[in-house]
Structure 1
Amino acid sequence: MNRPDSPSVPGHPRTYKIIVNGQERVVHTDMLSFEGVVSLAFDPVPTGPYVLITVSYRHADQKPAEGTLTVGTSVKIKNRTVFSVTATDKS
């Protein structure tokens, strides 16, 4: 059986357990985009002309291991990468 911390086996996606807004989520890719993290945080994703979404991360599998994501950017994750996603309405 392929454990979350074992190397990937061809044909079997690797499983990562990450934390999004305090909730454990399971994903099957080692890269997550801004849009992917937002969709894990919100259902439905808040929209509107004045909605601003902020995504920060820590314990990523890259240097720097912490930072922020912006629209169109991605981060390389590992087990227990933590994301904080907030939506504010500037109205």
Structure 2
Amino acid sequence: MSRPDTPSESGHPRDYKIIVNGQERTVSTDALSFEEVVSLAFDPVPTGPYVLITVSFRHADQKPAEGTLTAGASVKIKNRTVFSVTATDKS
């Protein structure tokens, strides 16, 4: 029998501490989309016809636990999931 005070049963969101480009961030969801990770990495998000954004992750709460996140996709996270986000401009 599970305890009624666990976050999933109490209805309260759980906070996760993740690392984005070396900076600790706190989020209240167990999955993040490509777009959400990019928004956490850049303010404002780089735009332009030649901008390419790459997102890699490790220590995720899924199999595989590391890889590359593509636009429109999401990753299941846990505490200390690490994201590296880069933006390049093909000039």
TM-score norm. by structure 2 comes to 0.91
Give 2:34's aligned amino acid.
Answer: F
Structure that is richer in helix per residue = 2
- Report the aligned-residue RMSD: 1.2
Which residues of 2 match residues 4-43 of structure 1 at below 5 A? Answer: 7-8=6-7, 9-43=9-43
Give the count of matched residue pairs. 86
Which residues of 2 match residues 1-91 of structure 1 at below 5 A? Answer: 7-8=6-7, 9-91=9-91
Q: Hey, what's the Cα distance between the residues in 2 that align with 1:7 and 1:88?
A: 42
Tell me, which stretches of 5 or more residues in structure 1 are unaligned? 1-5
Q: Percent identity at matched positions? A: 85
Post-superposition offset of 1:26? 0.2
Relative to 1, partners in 2 of residues 1:28 and 1:66: Cα closer, same or farther, differing over 3 Å? same
Relative to 1, partners in 2 of residues 1:7 and 1:19: Cα closer, same or farther, differing over 3 Å? farther
Q: Deviations over 1:8-31 (max 9, x none)?
A: 142311000000000000000000
